[in-house]
Amino acid sequence: MTVTAEVPPAARPRPEPAPRTPKPVRRVTMGRTLKYVLLVLFVFVVLIPVYVLIVTSFKPPADVTASTSWGLPVRWPWESVAPGGPTGFDNWTGAWTALGPALGRTFLLAIPAALISSFIGAMNGFVLSRWRFPHADIVFTFILFGMFIPYQAIMTPLVQMKTTLGLPSDISTLLMVHIIYGLPICTLIFRNYYVSIPMELMEASRMDGAGMLRTFASIVLPLSLPGFVVTIIWQFTNAWNDFLFAMFLSDTSGGPVSLALNNLAQGAQLANYGTAMAGALIASLPTLLVYIILGKYFIGGLMSGSVK
């Protein structure tokens, strides 16, 4: 009787995997090249207005025409066409003189509006996400409804209410309006973010005797930095770039920089395009710096709240 020794599974020869079919090198190269070409084209289109702004802002008024607006300056910014005439640097000096007071007022508008609306939105989001009460979903729906109302639809009754209440045409009225109209988006962001906080933390705080405000201040608020980064950047940008509310609810002497820039551009249509271009760059510099410095935190906080 012949006994056949059984080969253990580990010692058995494994079948060789089927060779993978390599992708055609030419197809991969063409696809990558097309992608980079499209990206470069998009960047070129986006940067064209920036190029025109920068180049025109350093040109004396005599060098700015419809045919030369795309070309580089023909003289240095400190040189003038005629002795004693205006130079390219005079554009920036004139723009800063015209927009300086409005820039200070806009900081007084955008920073408090962003901070106050973010903090109130955080409290709303905490209550609507963790401290449930009857008809909480209906209340949340009505809060979100404010996001979908066009500003143009409520501008006339808003102006009438401002006139009836005797509110001033300055930054204080705009501050109140931006805080109120910033609450829906801030509440939505914080409510979605607070849903991700473990309920065990809330129960532990209750067992320790903490109430709603103590729980919010001691436990929830220190965890809310990503949400605050998103809402503060969002509200700061909206308040800084606002023009519609500023046009209807304020005046030139007490309005923000967007209103002053509009007046500067209208005056420059017959005088100096370079001053208007320099003013546009000065007015956009704060929001540009905010996105350059805090852009990655903005995207991270926004994605964190949305995914969770």
Task: Specify whether domain 88-307 bears CATH 1.10.3720.10.
Answer: yes
Mean pLDDT of the residues in the chain: 81
User: Residue 83 has what pLDDT?
Assistant: 64
**Beta-carbon neighbour count of residue 287 at 10 Å?**
17
pLDDT band at 173 (very low <50, low <70, confident <90, very high): very high
Q: State pTM to two decimals.
A: 0.79
Q: Give the DSSP letter string of 55-122.
A: HHHTS-GGG--TTTTTSPPSS-TT-BSSTT--BHHHHHHHHHHHHHHHHHHHHHHHHHHHHHHHHHHH
Residue 239 has pLDDT above 90, yes or no: yes
Q: What's the whole-number mean pLDDT along residues 94-111?
A: 91
Considering only 49-63, 178-192, 198-212, which range has the smallest mean pLDDT?
A: 198-212
Whether 274 contacts 57, CB under 8 Å: yes
Q: Which residues pair with 87 in a beta bridge?
A: 80
CA angle 287/292/298 to nearest 5° reads: 85
Q: Mean pLDDT, to the nearest integer, of 86-101?
A: 83
pLDDT grade for 54, boundaries at 50, 70 and 90: confident
Q: What is the pLDDT of residue 307?
A: 45
| Residue 24: both structure tokens together | 């055609």
Which carries the bigger pLDDT value, residue 56 or residue 83?
A: 56
Region 175-199: what's the mean pLDDT? 88
**Structure-block tokens of residue 138:** 């209906």
DSSP letter string over 211-236?
Answer: -HHHHIIIIIGGG-HHHHHHHHHHHH
pLDDT of 145: 86
Q: 272: which DSSP letter? A: -
CA 190 vs CA 1, 150, 197, 204: distances in Å: 80, 23, 11, 21
At 214-231, the pLDDT tens digits run 878 778 888 888 889 889
Q: What are the φ/ψ torsions at residue 100 (nearest 5 degrees)?
A: -55, -55
What is the arithmetic mean of pLDDT over 90-110?
90
Secondary structure of residue 277 in the 3-state scheme: helix
The top-scoring range by mean pLDDT among 2-11, 122-131, 295-304 is 122-131
Token reading at 196: 């991700």
Least confident of 12-16, 60-64, 83-87: 12-16
- Would the pLDDT of 308 be above 50? no
What is the percent of the chain with per-residue pLDDT over 90, rounded to a whole number? 24
